[in-house]
Amino acid sequence: MRTVNRFESNLLRILHCLMGQSKRNQVMGLLERPLRWPVGLSRGAIELVEDSLAKGTVRMLTRSGAWQRERHLRGDEVREGPLWKRSKPEDLGLKFSPASLDFLVWLTATDISDRTKIWSPIAPREIDDRGKDLASREKPNSRIGDSRIGDSSTGDSSTSDSSTSDSSDQALTSDDQTLESGDEFLCYLAARMMRGTSVAHHWMQGEAMMRNPLIALMLPDQFAVARVSPEPDFDPWMAGPRSFLLEAMQEDLSRAWVGIEKQKAEITRISDMVRLGNVQEKVLSALMDSAERHGRRDLCRFLVEALGALVSPDSNRKEWIGALDTTGKRISQRTMAYENASAFLRFGARLRNWQQASSSIGFFDEGYAESQLWKSIWEESEAEVAVAEADRVVSSLQY
């Protein structure tokens, strides 16, 4: 049994909420009435954080879709099965750096409604300023270890690999400000928890959120509302643990984009529509460019599925611009609004180009496995029909 102090207890409750184990309103009080930044955290608290991260991420990603029997690329091969069968368990670990712990401490010690505060990953000099006392305490602080998606057949859903405790303040020092895969996932969970609130809109202005590809993919509308242009770099997400996140979250991604498109029917202001369309265009262009460069079009399967769920022979332009107020607006403003309303649908043409390119790749050509996988995704999703319907709606939105 471990004993934690009040700060650590609040931190753990917030973490459990991020992990989906409680509702936002159960921790809002903790987030709005912060406690003083601690001198240090106990060993027991660190271990509980590690344990929550390890088990929580495994549980969340398994529920999201890691359990699904899917096909994805591994090098030049197509592998089928749940995520832990497609890759070795030891390769699946999400890495959490000290930045994750810093973020959790920041959430617990900061009044999130304070608009002057935005979290940023710790730099070594900041650690020294805050962490000098940490170094001098007898009780050491250990480094956050790895969380892994394990083999469900053994019933052991996670392993947590904590390093041995290290009393030097280097244990909480980041070498640089680059976030690890687990850190980015944690940031995404926080943004998701606060979605739709002014807090989230404020957080989107921070670099950590702006550059987070998972937030850009799952919550592009939050950037639009915050009037911030995200800057995601998807290249690191085309391989390794980050790509496994995308694989596991294909259904979540599809649902997110369908939801965002359906929201457009309620948008009244042209400026709001234009901002949303711009963000969508930027994010999807960056994702698809990266997928092309790295031969990972399979990671864009959710786009095909979202299109299929959105459009039908009965779809009409009102579902995108039905509430848009164009009274007294110039034609140029209206066309800009309509173009942005159809921002997502227009990517159907690019997906079709992928299909056509895939059909021309021969057995001995580079990218054969990728092309075959894409063709099967296309056929199983009946994407040809969906893209044709999307084209029809796009045409109806043109002047």
Partner 1 sequence: MSRAYRIRVSETLREVVRAEDHVRSQLEMLDILPSDQMADLLSAELVKRGFERVGDTAVRVDDGTKVVVDLKESTVTVSRETSKEVKVSEQRTGTAWDDMGPSEKETKERLQKELVSDLKEDVQERQRELQQEVTDQLESQLSDLRLELDQAVNRATAEALKQKAAQIGQIKEVTEDPESGSMTIVVEV
Of the listed pieces 162-170, 191-199, 241-249, 325-333, which binds partner 1 according to CB under 8 A? 325-333
Compute the chain's Rg from CA coordinates.
23
Q: Which residue has the tokens 């989107």?
A: 204
Structure-token pair, residue 328: 């007294």
At 94 the three-state DSSP class reads: strand
Cβ-based nearer residue to partner 1, 71 or 334: 334
**To the nearest whole angstrom, how small is the minimum distance from the Cβ of residue 326 to partner 1?**
11
Total residues in contact with partner 1, by rule CB under 8 A: 7
Nearer to partner 1, 285 or 312 (CB): 285
Cβ closer to partner 1: 231 or 391? Answer: 391
Buried b (16+ CB within 10 A) or exposed e, 94-125: bbbbbbbbbbbbbbbbbebeeeeebbebbebe
Nearest-approach distance from CB 69 to partner 1, in angstroms: 41
Task: Please identify which residue in 33, 330, 360, 365 interacts with partner 1, judged by CB under 8 A.
Answer: 330
313-321 contact pairs (CB < 8 A, 24+): 313/389, 315/389, 315/392, 315/393, 316/393, 316/396, 317/393, 317/396, 317/397, 318/265, 319/262, 319/264, 319/265, 319/393, 320/261, 320/264, 320/265, 320/345, 320/393, 320/397, 321/264, 321/265, 321/273, 321/397
Nearest approach in angstroms of CB 278 to partner 1 is 16
**What is the separation of C-alpha 368 from the centre of its chain, rounded to a whole number of angstroms?**
29
Q: Which stretch binds partner 1 (CB under 8 A): 82-90, 117-125, 137-145, 328-336?
A: 328-336
Of 219, 288, 229, 227, give the one whose Cα is nearest residue 260: 219
Part in contact with partner 1 (CB under 8 A); list of ranges 18-26, 167-175, 186-194, 326-334 = 326-334
Contacts of partner 1 in 235-294 (CB under 8 A): none
- Grouping H, G, I as helix, E, B as strand and the rest as coil, residue 165 is coil
Using the minimum distance from each CB to partner 1, give the nearer residue, 25 or 327.
327
Element (H, E) at 161: strand 160-161
Task: Output the six-digit token pair for 152.
Answer: 């469900």
Find the part of the chain contacting partner 1 (CB under 8 A) among 155-163, 214-222, 229-237, 323-331: 323-331
Out of 153, 328, 356, 365, which residue is the one contacting partner 1 (CB under 8 A)? 328
Taking CB under 8 A as the rule, does residue 399 contact partner 1?
yes
Structure tokens at 297: 């079009």
* Residue 312 vs 395, nearer CB to partner 1: 395
Cβ at position 338, least distance to partner 1 in Å: 10
Binding piece for partner 1, criterion CB under 8 A, among 4-12, 37-45, 61-69, 330-338: 330-338
CB of 312 to partner 1, least distance (A): 24
Q: Does 335 bind partner 1 (CB under 8 A)?
A: yes
356 lies in the binding site for partner 1 (CB under 8 A): no
Is the alpha carbon torsion for 220, 176, 118, 229 positive or negative? negative
Instruction: Please list the residues that pair with 141 across neighbouring strands.
Output: 166
In terms of CB distance, is 168 or 398 closer to partner 1? 398
| Measured CA angle at 117 (ends 213, 13), to 5 deg | 75
The strand pair at 146-147 and 70-74 is best described as: unpaired
Q: How far is the CB of 366 from partner 1 (least distance, A)?
A: 25
In the complex, what is the shortest distance from the CB of residue 329 to partner 1, in angstroms, rounded to a whole number? 8
- Selected from 163, 168, 268, 398, the binder of partner 1 by CB under 8 A is 398
CB of 385 to partner 1, least distance (A): 21
**Least distance from C-beta 390 to partner 1, angstroms?**
15
Is residue 359 within 8 A of residue 368, CB to CB? The reply is no
Contact footprint for partner 1 (CB under 8 A): 328, 330-332, 335, 398-399
